[in-house]
Amino acid sequence: MSQRLTIALDAMGGDHGPDMVIAGADIARERHPDVRFLLYGDQQRLEPLLNQRPALKAVAEIRHTADFVAGDAKPAIALRAGRQSSMRLAIDAVAAGEAACVVSAGNTGALMAMAKFVLKTLPGIDRPAMASFFPTQRGESVMLDLGANAECQPENLVQFAVMGAVFARAILGLPQPSIGVLNIGSEDMKGNEVVRAAAASLRDMPLPGRFHGFVEGTDIGLGTVDVIVTDGFTGNVALKTAEGTAKLFSEFLRRTFATSFLARIGYLLARGAFKRFRERIDPRRYNGAMFLGLRGVCVKSHGGTDAVGFANAVAVAINLATHGFNERIKEEMGRIADAPPLPDTKAAAG
Amino acid sequence: MSQRLTIALDAMGGDHGPDMVIAGADIARERHPDVRFLLYGDQQRLEPLLNQRPALKAVAEIRHTADFVAGDAKPAIALRAGRQSSMRLAIDAVAAGEAACVVSAGNTGALMAMAKFVLKTLPGIDRPAMASFFPTQRGESVMLDLGANAECQPENLVQFAVMGAVFARAILGLPQPSIGVLNIGSEDMKGNEVVRAAAASLRDMPLPGRFHGFVEGTDIGLGTVDVIVTDGFTGNVALKTAEGTAKLFSEFLRRTFATSFLARIGYLLARGAFKRFRERIDPRRYNGAMFLGLRGVCVKSHGGTDAVGFANAVAVAINLATHGFNERIKEEMGRIADAPPLPDTKAAAG
C-alpha cells in the first residue's frame, strides 16, 4: 500500500458524523482507486460501518481516538483541549508526512486554528485563506478568502491573489488567470483603503496571472475574472448570499410549476433537462473549501453535506495534493520577494 | 393642481436619458393619477418628448437647465460644480418644499452627496443609508446600507436598524419587524468589532421592532428577518452578488431548455408559468433604492433601467412621501435618545 496517496479523514466531523464520512470515503475510493484512508475516530463506531464496506476496509485503517471537537466549540479552546481529538490527529498525520492531505466536515474555526498551528504557513504567507471554486456563466472561478480572516490588511489580499492565481493555474488549468479585487465599484477611488492599497500593489507586481482591477458582486456569477480576491467577511457574505439566492430561485421555480396543469405537463416533458439543470447547480458539486497557504493540504467539507458532497471534498484534496500546489505557491512568493521593491502602497492608492 | 403630490425628476439622469425618464413618468402618471411632475433638464430635448404624451404634459412642468451631472463625475466635483445641474435643481425643489420627493437615475455618489448637502440628515441620524427591498422565500425584506457608507461605526449600524424597522412598518406594513445584523456566523463571538458592538447595543434598545441577532448571507434569500442591517461595502457586494446569481441561474435555465426537443415542448406548455416566474424575479420590480435618514425623500433608480423600472422607482418615492416616513424616524430616534443610557458597547461585546 506504500505507493498509494494517503488521505487522513476526521471521521467524527460534520452534522451526520461517521456514517456520512465512511459512506463518502467509499464513493471517493470508487472514483480514485489508488488512494488509501486513515480514519480518525471512535473505533467502536467506525468498525461496524467499515465491516459493511469490504472494498473500503481493504484500503482504510482506523486510528482510534475517543475525543472529538464539538461543532460549537470555540477555536481557541479546541486548540488547547483537543490535542487528542479526531480532527487534530488527522492534521498531525499530514504534519508527520503520513498523509498527503486531511479532510474534515467538522467545526470550521477549530479546523483552521489547528491546521494553522500544526502545519504552519508557507514562506511569504502571513495568513492562510479559505478558497472555493464555483460556477459562473463562463465556467468556473475561485474566490478567497471565504471566512478565515474577518479583517484583512492590503498585504493579505495581495497574498490571496497570488495563491488564487496559482490555484487557477494548477487546478482549473488556466495558463494566465485573470485576477480581480472585490469592491463596490470599478473606479479607482471606490471602496475602502484596504482594497485600494491592495489593487495599487497588484497593478505593478509580477503575478502568476493578469491583474484585471476591481470587480463587483455581479461579476462573480458573470465570471468576469478567474480569481476573486476579498477579505473573509465580505467573501463569506457573498458566498452565502449566492447560496441563498440560488435556493430562493429554485423555490420560486418550484412554485411556478405547481401553479397550472399545463405547467406540470411541461415539467414532465422537460424532466431530463431539469435533472441536468439541478446537477449543474447542485451545491455538493462545489463542496470542499480549501485552506490555502499552509504547509500541507487541508480541505473543509460543508458540515451538512451528504456522502456525495464529502466525496467531492476528498477529490478536491486529492487534486491539491497531486498537483504540487503548495510548491508552486512557494515559488511564486519567492518571485515576488525577488522583484524590485514596490512604491509605498498608501501613497500609490490615492 | 395644488392638491396633487409633486415629484421632482432629474430628467437627464440614467444610461438612456430623457427618453426613458419621460416614458417612465408617463407610466407612473397612469398608475398614480393624483401626482404632478417637475421635470428638470434641457427644454429642447424634453419638450418634443412631452408633446408626444399629452396626458403627461397636462400634469408636468419643464424646469429648464442645460447642465447635468455626468455618470462618471466624482461626487465632490459634482457637488461643487453642479449647482445648476438637473440633479441638483430637482433636489433643491424638495428642500424648498416645492416637491414632496425627488427621483434620479443618475450618478449614485453625486446624488447621495448632493442630497445630503442640500436636504441634511434627520435629527439623531449621522449618516444616511441606501436601502432597498427585495424578494425572499417569506415575502419581502429591506436591507441597508447598500453602498452609501463603505465604512461604518457601530452607531451607524444602530441608526440603520431603526430606519430599516420604521421602513418595514410604514412601507411593508409589518407591525413588529424583526431585525438582523449581517455577519459571518450567528454566534456572539463571530465577525468584527463593529458588528459585535452594534449587536450588543441593539439587544438592549427600545426598537420599533424585535432584534433577532446576527444573520448570514443565506438568510437574505430565506427571509429569516424583515430588516437586514449591514455596512455599505458588505451590503453592496451582497446585493450585487444576489443579482449576479439570479442572472447565472436564469442563464443555466435557458441553456437547459435549449438542450432537447422534449424540453422545448415542455417549455412551450409551461410558457404561462415561466412568464409569472420571470415577473417574480424581474429586477425592475425592485428598482428604486431609497436614501433613508434625510430631511426629504430621495430615490435612486438603477441607471440602466427602462421606463417600467423607472416608474417603479417613482412609486417607491410616492410611498415614502405619503406615509410620513421621515416623521416616524424622527419619533423613533427621539425615543432612543430618551431611553436610559446603554452600557459601554465595547465591554458588552466581549
Of the options 3.40.640.10, 3.40.718.10, 3.40.1080.10, 3.40.190.10, the CATH number for the domain spanning A123-286+328-350: 3.40.718.10
Q: Residue B341: pLDDT above 80? A: no
Phi then psi dihedrals of residue A159, to 5 deg: -65, -40
Contact residues on chain A for B136, CB-CB shorter than 8 A: 248
**Closest by Cβ to A137, choosing from B233, B234, B248:** B248
pLDDT band at residue A90 under the 50/70/90 scheme:
very high
Partners of B178 in the β-ladder: B210
Mean pLDDT, rounded, for B149-161: 95
Q: What's the distance, Cα to Cα, between the start and end of chain B in Å?
A: 58
> CA separation (Å) from A120 to A98, A125, B15, B45?
17, 10, 51, 66
Of residues B269 and A155, more confidence is placed in: A155
> CA separation (Å) from B87 to A135, A209, B107, B288?
40, 42, 9, 16
The pLDDT > 70 percentage for chain A reads 96
DSSP assignment of B272-309: HHHHHHHHHH-GGGG--EEEETBSSEEEEPPTT--HHH
Cβ–Cβ gap B268/A266 under 8 Å: yes
A5: three-class secondary structure by DSSP: strand
CA angle (A122, B190, A86) in 5-degree steps: 55
**Closest by Cβ to B276, choosing from A216, A259, A270:** A259
Mean pLDDT, rounded, for A176-183: 97
Q: Residue A82: pLDDT above 70? A: yes
Q: Are strands B289-292 and B297-300 parallel, antiparallel or unpaired?
A: antiparallel
User: What is the least distance, in Å, from the CA of B252 to any CA of chain A?
Assistant: 7
The residues, ordered by sequence, that sit 6+ positions from A58 with a Cβ below 8 Å of its Cβ are none
pLDDT band at residue A239 under the 50/70/90 scheme:
very high
B39: three-class secondary structure by DSSP: strand
Round to whole Å and give the CA distance between B287 and B312. Answer: 6
Round to whole Å and give the CA distance between A91 and A322. Answer: 18
Contact residues on chain B for A263, CB-CB shorter than 8 A: 269-270, 272-273
Contact residues on chain B for A139, CB-CB shorter than 8 A: none
Contact present, B56 and B38 (Cβ < 8 Å): no
**Closest by Cβ to A249, choosing from B234, B246, B259:** B246
Round to whole Å and give the CA distance between B153 and B332. Answer: 20
Q: Which of B97, B65, B228, B95 is nearest to B160 (CA)?
A: B228
Round to whole Å and give the CA distance between A121 and A127. Answer: 7
Q: Residue ranges of the alpha helices (H) in chain B?
A: 17-31, 43-51, 54-57, 75-81, 86-95, 108-119, 154-170, 193-203, 217-222, 232-257, 261-269, 271-281, 307-322, 325-338, 345-348
pLDDT band at residue B49 under the 50/70/90 scheme:
very high
CATH class held by domain B1-119: alpha beta
Mean pLDDT, rounded, for B275-300: 87
Q: Residue A61: pLDDT above 80? A: yes
Q: What's the distance, Cα to Cα, between the start and end of chain A in Å?
A: 58
Mean pLDDT, rounded, for A82-87: 97
Residue found by looking up cell 423607472 in the block: B310
Predicted pLDDT of residue A27 = 97
Domain boundaries, chain B: 1-119, 124-290+331-350
DSSP state of A28: H
**Closest by Cβ to A217, choosing from B189, B240, B277:** B240
Round to whole Å and give the CA distance between A19 and B95. Answer: 66
Q: Residue A258: pLDDT above 90? A: no
CATH topology (fold) of B124-290+331-350: Isopropylmalate Dehydrogenase (3.40.718)
pLDDT digits (tens, 9 = 90+) for B199-250: 999 998 999 999 999 999 999 999 999 999 999 999 999 999 999 998 998 8
Contact residues on chain A for B281, CB-CB shorter than 8 A: 249, 252
Predicted pLDDT of residue B348 = 39
Length of chain A in terms of residues written: 350
> Average per-residue pLDDT in chain A?
90
pLDDT band at residue B339 under the 50/70/90 scheme:
low
pLDDT digits (tens, 9 = 90+) for A286-333: 888 999 999 999 999 999 899 999 999 999 999 999 988 888 888 888
Q: Residue A150: pLDDT above 60? A: yes
pLDDT band at residue A340 under the 50/70/90 scheme:
low
Q: Which of A137, A233, A268 is the best substitution to test chain B (most B C-beta atoms within 10 A)?
A: A233
User: Distance from CA of residue B141 to its chain's centroid?
Assistant: 12
Predicted pLDDT of residue B340 = 58
Q: Show which of residues 110-169 on chain B sit within 8 Å of chain A, judged by CB atoms.
A: 135-137, 147, 150-151
Neighbours of B189 (CB within 10 A): 12
B268 in reach of chain A (CB within 8 A): yes
Length of chain B in terms of residues written: 350
B277 in reach of chain A (CB within 8 A): yes
Partners of A181 in the β-ladder: A214, A229
Predicted pLDDT of residue B1 = 41
Residue found by looking up cell 449576479 in the block: B244
ipTM above 0.90, yes or no: no
> CA separation (Å) from A60 to A3, A28, A96?
14, 12, 18
A81 in reach of chain B (CB within 8 A): no
Contact present, A119 and A91 (Cβ < 8 Å): yes
Contact residues on chain B for A230, CB-CB shorter than 8 A: 237
CB burial of A226-265 (b: ≥16 within 10 Å; e: otherwise) equals bbbbbbbbbbbbbbbbbbbbbbbbbebbeebbeeeeebee
Round to whole Å and give the CA distance between B40 and A316. Answer: 58
The domains spanning B1-119 and B124-290+331-350 adopt the same CATH topology: yes
Asked which of A45-54, A111-120, B106-115, B341-350 is least confident by mean pLDDT, the reply is B341-350
Q: Which of A80, A83, A87, A73 is nearest to A11 (CA)?
A: A87
**Closest by Cβ to B217, choosing from A187, A239, A273:** A239
User: What is the least distance, in Å, from the CA of A26 to any CA of chain B?
Assistant: 31
Contact residues on chain B for A233, CB-CB shorter than 8 A: 184, 191-192, 234
The residues, ordered by sequence, that sit 6+ positions from A233 with a Cβ below 8 Å of its Cβ are A147, A150, A151, B184, B191, B192, B234
